[in-house]
Amino acid sequence: MTTEEKKALLLLKSMIFHYHGLDEDEMQILKNTAKELDAADELNWANGFIAEDFGTAFERARGFLKDTLGQHEKSQKLSYLDQVWKDNYQKGYITEMEATAMLELAKDWGIQSELISMVRS
């Protein structure tokens, strides 16, 4: 995984977790992901990206993710959303806001029906 892909995955996870306020469990999930990917700098970058202007973070992140992941195969983009979905499930719940945000991103990436199918199975 390239540095840009690590940034994209960590930004995606962090952005979804920040949707309702980042809690300790979510921060630990992010730290674990960063450790697995050897991506502590990328996690710091992602959190800084969000902190820069929380009000516009989601829209800015959508642009960054579309630019960074836009050329990837559908299966790879779905894999990223699957990781976020599973991480949310790991903490015990997925809020409506988090699910909606993932659906918006899936729509941006042209994989909305694939995400819905994945979630249903």
- Mean confidence (pLDDT) of the chain: 91
Q: Which residue do the tokens 């042209």 mark?
A: 110
Domain limits at 104? 3-120
For 24-82, write each residue's pLDDT tens digit: 989 999 999 999 999 999 999 999 999 999 889 999 999 999 888 888 999 999 999 99
Q: What is the pLDDT of residue 40?
A: 96
Looking at the 3D structure of the chain, how many domains does it have?
A: 1
Q: How much of the chain is in helix, strand and coil states, percent to nearest 5? A: 80, 0, 20
Q: What is the pLDDT of residue 5?
A: 92
Instruction: Measure the CA–CA gap between 38 and 117, rounded to whole angstroms.
Output: 31
pTM for this structure? 0.90
High-pLDDT (> 90) share of the chain, % = 67
CB 92 within 8 Å of CB 29: no
